[in-house]
Amino acid sequence: MRLIPTVLFLLALPGAVMAQTTPAERTMMQTVTAEQDRHVALLERMVNQNSGTLNLPGVRAVGEMVKAELEPLGFEVRWVDMAETGRAGHLIATKPGRGRNVLLIGHLDTVFEPDSPFQTFRREGDRAIGPGVGDDKGGVVVIIAALRAMHAAGTLSQSCVTVVLTGDEERPGSPIAVARKDLIAAGRFAGWALEFENLAAEDGQDFGTIARRSSSSWTLTTEGRTGHSSGVFNDTLGYGAIYEMARILDGFRRELPEPNLTYNVGVIAGGTPAEIDADGFRVSASGKTNIVASTAVARGDLRTLTPEQDARVRERMQGIVEQHLPRTEAELAFSEDGYPPMAPTEGNRALLARLNAVNRDLGLPEMAEYDPARRGAADSGFVAADVDTLGGLGMAGGGAHAEGEWADLTSLERQAQRAAVLITRLSTGPR
């Protein structure tokens, strides 16, 4: 561990920082800096333990690493088994205190299963490369670093904190109501929620995440009368399933666009017959050029910024579907296992303002709101309807979900410092 004497550290702080921070906050900053090497080593150990969502023992092993970090800080740590949903489970750690409860959200799993060739941590200067190094093992380490700093400064003992680390964020178990019931319950108990997915950073500037869009899927099936192609468009055969599919998808393209909305078509097939597998990932079809298609199927996703937008767009999609071409039928079904949006609320903006007050006091630049259309869905969406929520408090980096995923190790230090001071002020200060 790299040790920095407290006196030398404090002398290195700008006078404005010394004036705006409390002795406890300065101790937190010093502790995070002193323990940077320790936290990087922890990150390396976590990354080198494969925890692809479907690697249930691997996800649990990472949970055990976190448990070993949190229990010495006074947390009661429990594992919530999720065999019912086909997943490993979640880690939930609680520490009662006198203040308002602050919920910290992250996840243990990654998109990289044991058969992926991308398995190990490596370091290139201040860049760490490895599976899940930023999404979200870097965020988990930021949580641990912040809580250790609070413990060293004596503020953790006064704070009420709950940590929920899901084990299936990348591929949620089903039914989603069961998979996220514990997180939702924690959100309803909390005074604030902080989510530790990747920090949004561009051109050296950090941004605050006050909103994320939803993520849900839909399946569209069309049917038509089949027969010889010489009769297509006539009163007997009509237009067939593929023309009906094309009409609907083009209607989506032309009639639905609005800010913060996307609706991708991911897979499609049409013929006599055509079908999609039970998982909704693979389609098959057969047919001939002189046969009018009997069936077509497509599957895609829908991303919206607010529940109101989501409901409105779904209704408009159904309206387009119902305008059938002659002798065709169509059905649009939405999955119930989607991620709800984290809408941009005034409460979330007020929480970002609290973080920016921390930034000013720590001598860090203020953070503007990040464009939610450029962020993916996250577990914070499950609590945002019940509690003011701020996201993107993990490490900065890039290449998430791809080989070569990386994280900026310098961001670990400043993110942990920000988080330690923010959690302390939220939990022990006035609401």
Is the pLDDT score of 170 beyond 70?
Answer: yes
Q: What is the pLDDT of residues 341-370, one digit of tens each?
A: 999 999 999 999 999 999 999 999 999 999
Tell me which CATH homologous superfamily contains domain 6-212+340-428: Zn peptidases (3.40.630.10)
Residue 350's pLDDT is: 97
Mean pLDDT of 41-63: 98
Is the pLDDT score of 59 beyond 80?
Answer: yes
Rounded Cα distance, 164 and 140, in Å: 10
In order of 228, 232, 284, 285, the CA distances from 290 in angstroms are 6, 10, 19, 15
Residue 280's pLDDT is: 79
281 or 423, greater pLDDT: 423
What proportions of the chain, in percent to the nearest 5, are helix, strand and coil? 40, 25, 35
Residue 4's pLDDT is: 44
Is the pLDDT score of 12 beyond 90?
Answer: no
Is the pLDDT score of 15 beyond 60?
Answer: no
Residue 13's pLDDT is: 55
What one-character DSSP code corresponds to residue 334? E
Q: What is the pLDDT of residues 298-326, one digit of tens each?
A: 999 999 999 999 999 999 999 999 999 99
Rounded Cα distance, 240 and 248, in Å: 13
Q: What is the pLDDT of residues 203-219, one digit of tens each?
A: 999 999 999 999 999 99
Give the chain's mean pLDDT: 94
Residue 3's pLDDT is: 42
* Domain(s) of CATH 3.40.630.10: residues in the chain: 6-212+340-428
Is the pLDDT score of 332 beyond 70?
Answer: yes
Residue 278's pLDDT is: 84
Rounded Cα distance, 19 and 427, in Å: 22
Is the pLDDT score of 420 beyond 90?
Answer: yes
Tokens matching residue 341: 């949006």
Which candidate, 218, 220, 231, 230, places its Cα nearest to that of 327? Answer: 231
C-alpha 347 chain-centroid distance: 20
Quick check: helix, strand or coil at residue 52? strand
What one-character DSSP code corresponds to residue 286? -
Q: Could you tell me the pLDDT band of residue 430, with boundaries at 50, 70 and 90?
A: low
Q: At what angle do helices 36-48 and 137-153 cross, to 10 degrees?
A: 150
Q: Could you tell me the pLDDT band of residue 5, with boundaries at 50, 70 and 90?
A: very low
Q: What is the identity of the amino acid at 360?
A: R
Which candidate, 238, 273, 240, 141, places its Cα nearest to that of 196? Answer: 141
Residue 98's pLDDT is: 84
Mean pLDDT of 384-410: 96
- Give the helix/strand (H/E) hosting 186: helix 181-189
pLDDT > 90: percent of the chain: 91
- CA angle, 346 then 395 then 187, to 5°: 45
Residue 55's pLDDT is: 98
Mean pLDDT of 135-159: 97
Q: At what angle do helices 409-428 and 346-361 cross, to 10 degrees?
A: 110
Quick check: 337 and 175 in contact, CB under 8 A? yes
Is the pLDDT score of 236 beyond 80?
Answer: yes
Q: Which CATH class is domain 216-334?
A: alpha beta
- Give the helix/strand (H/E) hosting 397: strand 397-398
Q: Name all contacts of 275-281 with Cβ < 8 Å and 24+ positions apart.
A: 276/219, 280/217, 280/219
- Measured in residues, the chain has a length of 431
- Dmax over Cα atoms in the chain, in whole Å? 89
Which candidate, 321, 207, 178, places its Cα nearest to that of 256? Answer: 321
Is the pLDDT score of 8 beyond 50?
Answer: no
Q: Could you tell me the pLDDT band of residue 10, with boundaries at 50, 70 and 90?
A: very low
Rounded Cα distance, 316 and 368, in Å: 33
Tokens matching residue 263: 């609706």
pTM value surpassing 0.85: yes
Residue 2's pLDDT is: 41
Rounded Cα distance, 391 and 403, in Å: 24
Mean pLDDT of 2-21: 54
